[in-house]
């Protein structure tokens, strides 16, 4: 997230630089270059906003995946809490044939 934020700040600063150069070239009546730089000045902040939103979405997806994994681990621990004696003595590696979790581990 910090790298995306630094990149976004760099893009905004580049946009300001393009805007300053566009103003200089417009003052010198070099219109094609001034318009080209002005377009770049407009595109840079738009790209920075997109980059920042994409990074925020990736972070939110990662947080959701982590929470989902924790929730599933807790559910598995609760299901395995009332497991058979063989499972407890084999460090979670085997089940008795009559255990309801036998099919789940195989």
For 21-36, the pLDDT digits (tens) are: 999 999 999 999 999 9
H-only helix segments in the chain: 2-27, 31-80, 85-89, 102-105
Considering its fold, how many domains does the chain have in total? 1
- The Cα-based distances of 42 to 7, 36, 52, 66, 95 in angstroms read 16, 10, 16, 37, 65
Name residue, tokens 């939110």.
60
Question: Could you list the residue range(s) of the whole structural domain that residue 25 is in?
Answer: 2-105
Q: Per residue in 35-81, pLDDT tens?
A: 999 998 999 889 988 998 999 999 999 999 999 988 887 777 666 65
């Amino acid at each position: 997230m910090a790298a995306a934020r630094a990149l976004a700040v760099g893009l905004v600063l580049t946009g300001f630089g393009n805007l300053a150069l566009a103003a200089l070239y417009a003052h010198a009546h070099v219109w094609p270059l001034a318009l080209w730089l002005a377009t770049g000045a407009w595109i840079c902040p738009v790209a920075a906003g997109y980059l920042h939103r994409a990074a925020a979405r990736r972070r939110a997806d990662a947080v959701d995946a982590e929470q989902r994994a924790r929730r599933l681990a807790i559910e598995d621990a609760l299901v395995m809490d009332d497991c058979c004696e063989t499972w407890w003595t084999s460090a979670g590696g085997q089940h008795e044939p009559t255990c309801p979790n036998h099919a789940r581990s195989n």
